[in-house]
Amino acid sequence: MREGLTGSGRPSSRIWAPAVAAAVLLAWAAAAHPSADPTILAPKETTLGSPFLVYISSAEPLEEVRLFWEGKEMALEMEAVGEGCEAMALLGTDVGGSKPGVKTLDIGYSRGGERASVSRQVRVADVEYPSEKLTLPETMITPPKELLERIGRERHESARALSTVTPARLWAIPMVRPVGGVITSPYGFRRILNGQPRAPHRGVDYRAAEGTPVKAAADGTVVLSADHYFAGRCVYLDHGGGVVSVYLHLSKRLVEEGDVVSAGDVIGLSGRSGRVTGPHLHFGLCLQGMMVNPEPLLGR
């Protein structure tokens, strides 16, 4: 080898030596990072309605990273770290529509112009959420006919806000607890009203005296600030990466659509607006269209 590089009979070999060294170095670097698949950290197991974190990192830049989960597709913005990149995503299942079982999380990406994908299996275990039987006057349950158009319009507005996906991640874990009160109705709680099972509770109700400041769970942008028949005065915040938080039954809204808020900013005052029996804050968290239990992500 040494002989070859210093080669007596080949005057050019001395000139070539640096190039050979560079080639060897490059080959070594490639061996150390042999175009390795990106590192994917995702739980093997979760429970129905729970959020979970997915972490992706790569020693090389990745382009067009997309997540496929529960029939939804999301573009993921990778942040540059040294020569490579990394990103975090929040995913979950919805007590209101997801089924337990083994599901596949697919991650598609392109690297140096070549497309590739990796998959992870996530087992979603069933949860027996508590339920309660209630008897209420029919007028409390069925809204008057003349309001059906309004209710339909508001449902559409809220669905549009919940489906917001902006690529840049603004959220951080732990999220800010919007109010300090105890939970009066947990996530997943099922009510059987007049013998009819209702949709499970897709958020958390916190006890909050009228006028309690309600804080933004994370940095974000207001995507809906409105007064709805069922939800009352409500605020929806987009935190990027398909994460949207929801605050219902406020007595006062302090932000408008398009406003930019920081984690912990007061976005409204709690109340009892909309179809409720008493003052409380309903807090919801939507991840790529899935209403999950926000509790595991909240700080103290």
* Binding stretches for Zn ion (CB under 5 A): 203, 205, 282
Rounded to 10 degrees, what is the CA torsion of 173, 297, 96, 91?
30
CB of 268 to Zn ion, least distance (A): 15
CB of 79 to Zn ion, least distance (A): 35
> Which residue's CB atom is positioned nearest to Zn ion?
282
CB of 234 to Zn ion, least distance (A): 11
**Between residues 205 and 265, which has the closer beta carbon with respect to Zn ion?**
205
Residue of 208, 214, 205 whose CA lies nearest to 252? 214
**Between residues 169 and 202, which has the closer beta carbon with respect to Zn ion?**
202
Residue of 161, 164, 286, 268 whose CA lies nearest to 216? 268
**Between residues 169 and 215, which has the closer beta carbon with respect to Zn ion?**
215
Cα–Cα distance for residue pair 13/19, rounded to 1 Å = 10
Residue of 93, 41, 105 whose CA lies nearest to 67? 105
Residue 175 DSSP symbol: B
Q: In this structure, is the dihedral angle defined by the CA atoms of residues 212, 218, 219 and 221, taken in order, positive or negative?
A: negative
**Between residues 233 and 282, which has the closer beta carbon with respect to Zn ion?**
282
CB of 270 to Zn ion, least distance (A): 12
CB of 176 to Zn ion, least distance (A): 19
**Between residues 171 and 206, which has the closer beta carbon with respect to Zn ion?**
206
Cα–Cα distance for residue pair 36/71, rounded to 1 Å = 27
